[in-house]
Amino acid sequence: MNPKISIITVTFNAEKVLPITLDSIRNQNYNNIEYIVVDGASKDGTLDVIKSNLDIITKWISEPDDGLYFAMNKGLKIATGDYVWFLNAGDSINDKNILNYLFDKESTLRDVYYGDTLIVDENGNKLGRRRLQPPSDLTWKSFRWGMLVCHQSVLVKRTLAPEFNTKYRIAADYEWVLESLRRARYILGTRQNISAFLRGGFSSNNYLKANKERFKIMTKYYGYFPAVFYNILMLFRFSFTVIRLGRI
């Protein structure tokens, strides 16, 4: 099977890191990609980078917006692929053959494909996998333990993908993946490192604020007391990991 994949990248003053993402798109061996860039009226050289890569960029917008998740919703609305895949500027696809791996042997397309995520530094050096590991039987209920899968490593059927809830400024991607899983009937864990994200991302730099928003989302989906219980456990686990690994 050869489904159309809409890869969406949101940018703002991303001149230095966008080429990392563009290179990983260019290197893909898969031949049915729609690549969309949504820029928030960058003031640096981001538009020059975009215009010099129109051979792989299918659609692009540059205009002011109200934040990251508003921009991601713009991309979602103009996507026409069978699947949507969000990669932030600076993120990259980990393997040039990953999409062929996912779809070559499929006789029935799944609602969601997911995998693991690597962390890289500003020089592209791989620092290892992220702290939370995705289970082989992931469901929306698994997210009681936190964001077990990054949105960069999730491909969702466009017809069931929700919009991002823009009342959340930092953790809307947590709810987006959770809600995508809740809507899905057929989910496949690929056991592959699907993407790599740049160390020091948006939510990593705003951990406490992100945790407050995640608590509100968990209360909505799981109830208040389960949200309190799992948040306490997550805070203990987070503290232990930071002490042991020295990173989030």
From 60-64, 72-76, 116-120, 216-220, the region with the lowest mean pLDDT: 116-120
Q: Is the pLDDT of residue 248 over 80?
A: no
**Structural domain span for residue 68:** 5-201
201-to-196, 206, 207, 217, 241 alpha-carbon distances in Å: 12, 9, 10, 20, 18
CB neighbours of 53 closer than 8 A, spacing ≥ 6?
Answer: 22, 26
Q: Kindly report the backbone phi and psi dihedral angles of residue 195, in degrees, each rounded to the nearest multiple of 5, phi listed first.
A: -135, 170
DSSP 8-state class, residue 91: B
Q: How confident is the model at residue 246 (pLDDT cuts 50, 70, 90)?
A: low
Asked if residue 196 belongs to a domain, the reply is: yes
First to last CA, the chain: 38
Residue 138: alpha-carbon gap to chain centroid? 16
Which CATH number belongs to the domain containing residue 104 in this structure?
3.90.550.10
Asked if residue 220 belongs to a domain, the reply is: no
Asked if residue 14 belongs to a domain, the reply is: yes
Q: Is the pLDDT of residue 82 over 80?
A: yes
Asked if residue 148 belongs to a domain, the reply is: yes
195's enclosing H/E stretch is strand 187-198
For 68, counting Cβ atoms within 10 Å of its Cβ (0-12 exposed, 13-18 middle, 19+ buried), the class is buried
pLDDT tens by residue, 182-202: 999 999 999 899 999 877 655
Q: Is the pLDDT of residue 244 over 80?
A: no
Number of domains in the chain: 1
Q: Is the pLDDT of residue 130 over 70?
A: no
Asked if residue 222 belongs to a domain, the reply is: no
pLDDT at 123: 66
Asked if residue 180 belongs to a domain, the reply is: yes
Which single residue is written with the structure tokens 């994200």? 197
Asked if residue 133 belongs to a domain, the reply is: yes
Residue-level length of the chain: 248
Helix, strand or coil, per DSSP, at residue 217? helix
pLDDT at 197: 85
DSSP 8-state class, residue 67: S
pLDDT tens by residue, 137-168: 999 999 998 888 999 999 999 999 999 999 99
Q: Provide the greatest CA pair distance for the chain.
A: 52
Asked if residue 209 belongs to a domain, the reply is: no
Q: How confident is the model at residue 128 (pLDDT cuts 50, 70, 90)?
A: low
